[in-house]
Structure 1
Amino acid sequence: MQRLAFRGNNEFENSSNQGNFIELLKVLASCNEEINNVVLKNAPDNLKLISPDIQKDIINAVAFKTTKAIITDMRDDLFSILVDEYQNVLVKEQMEVVIRYVNRFGCVIERFIGVLHVRDTSVASLKKAIESLFSSYGLSISSLRGQGYDGASNMRGEFNRLKSFILKENSCAYYIHCFAHQLQLTRVTVTKRHLSVCSLFNTVTRLCNVIGGSCKHRDMLREKQIEKLIEGIAKGEIKTRQGLNQELALERSGDTRWGSHYGMQINLMHLFSSIINVLEYIGENGRITYELSQVLQRRDQDIVNAINLVKVSKCRLQVIRDDGWESLLLEVLEFCGKYDINIIDMEGAYVARGKSRRRSEEITNLHHYHIELFYFVIDMWF
């Protein structure tokens, strides 16, 4: 249930899930009377030691001790490294490093030892980051006997040059392309050679781009799915239990991400009816000039088709001009009310910022926003 979230989104006492740190602390307290006497509600004064800063300090201390224990278990023996690069949610380049060695019992051990932030994926930055990590734990490139990267296109070829740089310093640090990635890339390539399968994946990719390329569309998909979930639970069609009915998303598949194609298809099946609702909305309201824009971007323009699309676009704009003002005004008023924004009196006199009107030139706010702004912007398209 906890997964990897060390801290909870809501760590207040009335929260159903306060995160790994506090939940584990509560479990320890329930199993050990000595711990229970000095933690959480029973802590002396206000010394609970559960603030976010303290949790981070404890995480760092535990990570350091754990990594040192791994290095000690290696006993200065030879080892290999496995490296991969990715972007985190803040779109920062990061590199994760895993070491592989044989312990004193003759067993092959793989241990994750760190995530490194790199400003870019140039050879110099990657090599510097690895050397910095090695120096932190007393490791040496001279003890390196293997280096493994996935070799995929998203590695941008920089790791190919990185392996060469390391080989220049240590000719025994042999490079091995990840066999799992080789198998994955081979499966995807062979599968897509079938025209129907390739067409399916291309269609689904375009669908992901349409839905996932807009925050508004993603929110709409989420709302539609919640509505259908509540309706299904009320009718008894959907079972409820801890861990069931988790929020799903229409994520893009990746050729180097194992199982992503299968996962995408499964999510598509579960979200299908909600996706149809979103696409219907986009078709009715969100594509006023989209087709015309796409045609005009083509190099081999079809003039006749473009002219027809101009006519269609003008008709759609005319419908908005005739019937769209009331719905737009209502949406703006609801937005202002939701966020406590002052709502102007539409029948009051409009005064331009930094200017004053003479009495004879006085117009209402409604006239300004409806005629001088709404109509004017739409008429510019004509």
Structure 2
Amino acid sequence: MSNQTRIDYRIRLGATIDCARFLLQQGLPFRGHDETEDSKNQGNFLELLQWLCNHNKDIEAVSLKNAPENLKLTAPDIQKNIVNCIAVEIINSIIQDIGDKLFSILIDELKDISSKEQMSIVLRYVDKGCVIERFVGIVHVTDTSSLSLKEAIDGFFSIHGLSMTSLHGQGYDGASNMQGEFNGLKTLILRENECAF
């Protein structure tokens, strides 16, 4: 690979990442209904990348129509990989911010469009006198039994280096149909850490 090819790739990748970061920061969808080249609206990601090309000749020279057919960096899988990388960095930053502080978890269950069970996790902690709540993810669970939810929490803690001994609070959606399972989950966590009331 020539030096110029590497430079072109970095410019193209940088533009792709910048578009993804902007859309994530604004909470906007990436995809459009019709992403073909003759579409009047290809979706936010491709339209934003085209806008960047129109306003930056260096990006235009190596992106979209001027990129090699197999290296445009616009495929949905590429977009998802970039989003996943950004999510990992954000969660790592949150975990680093928590450090050795005490924290609480807020849990709720939900189903995705295909009715698969999921559990949303929010970490709550105090930093410089301010209460901070950070959504850190959705974990797929096999079912909504208290044991399954506890295993998912243990797995999440293990992956992110969180300690159950630093957990000093639990919160669940009281109106949820999961209240019985959450009471069981609360008990399982309290057996492991009496301070996590």
Give TM class, smaller chain.
Answer: 0.7 to 0.9
Between the aligned residues of both structures, percent identity stands at 60
Aligned length: 173
1:151 touches 1:160 (CA, 8 Å); kept in 2? Answer: no
Matches of 1:117 and 1:95 in 2, distance apart?
Answer: 6
Matches of 1:75 and 1:31 in 2, distance apart?
Answer: 42
More strand, by proportion: 2
Question: Given the two structures, how large is their TM-score scaled by the length of structure 1?
Answer: 0.42
Give secondary structure in 1 for the equivalent of 2:148: helix
Radius of gyration: which is bigger?
A: 1
Give secondary structure in 1 for the equivalent of 2:113: coil
- CA 1:23 to 1:93, structure 2 compared with 1: closer, same or farther past 3 Å? same
Deviation at 1:6, TM superposition (A): 2.8
More helix, by proportion: 1
Q: Name the aligned partner's letter for residue 115 of structure 1.
A: I
Matches of 2:152 and 2:52 in 1, distance apart?
Answer: 38
Q: Which runs of 5+ in 2 are unaligned?
A: 1-25
Q: Name the aligned partner's letter for residue 113 of structure 2.
A: V
- CA 1:58 to 1:153, structure 2 compared with 1: closer, same or farther past 3 Å? closer
2:161 corresponds to 1:132: no
- Name the counterpart of 1:112: 135
Mapping of 1:52-91 within 5 angstroms?
A: 52-91=76-115
- Name the counterpart of 1:6: 30
- Name the counterpart of 2:144: 121
- CA 1:82 to 1:156, structure 2 compared with 1: closer, same or farther past 3 Å? closer
Q: Name the aligned partner's letter for residue 121 of structure 1.
A: T
Matches of 1:84 and 1:17 in 2, distance apart?
Answer: 36
Q: Name the aligned partner's letter for residue 126 of structure 2.
A: V
Question: Given the two structures, how large is their TM-score scaled by the length of structure 2?
Answer: 0.77
More relative contact order, 1 or 2 (CA 8 Å, 6+ apart): 2
- CA 1:18 to 1:79, structure 2 compared with 1: closer, same or farther past 3 Å? farther
- CA 1:3 to 1:57, structure 2 compared with 1: closer, same or farther past 3 Å? closer
Matches of 2:61 and 2:100 in 1, distance apart?
Answer: 43
Deviation at 1:165, TM superposition (A): 1.0
Give secondary structure in 1 for the equivalent of 2:177: helix
Q: Name the aligned partner's letter for residue 148 of structure 1.
A: G
Deviation at 1:50, TM superposition (A): 1.1
Q: Name the aligned partner's letter for residue 165 of structure 1.
A: L
- CA 1:138 to 1:3, structure 2 compared with 1: closer, same or farther past 3 Å? closer
- CA 1:101 to 1:22, structure 2 compared with 1: closer, same or farther past 3 Å? farther
Q: Which runs of 5+ in 1 are unaligned?
A: 175-382
Pairwise CA RMSD: 2.3
Matches of 1:29 and 1:71 in 2, distance apart?
Answer: 36
2:176 corresponds to 1:162: no
Matches of 1:171 and 1:145 in 2, distance apart?
Answer: 9
Deviation at 1:130, TM superposition (A): 0.8
Matches of 1:94 and 1:127 in 2, distance apart?
Answer: 13
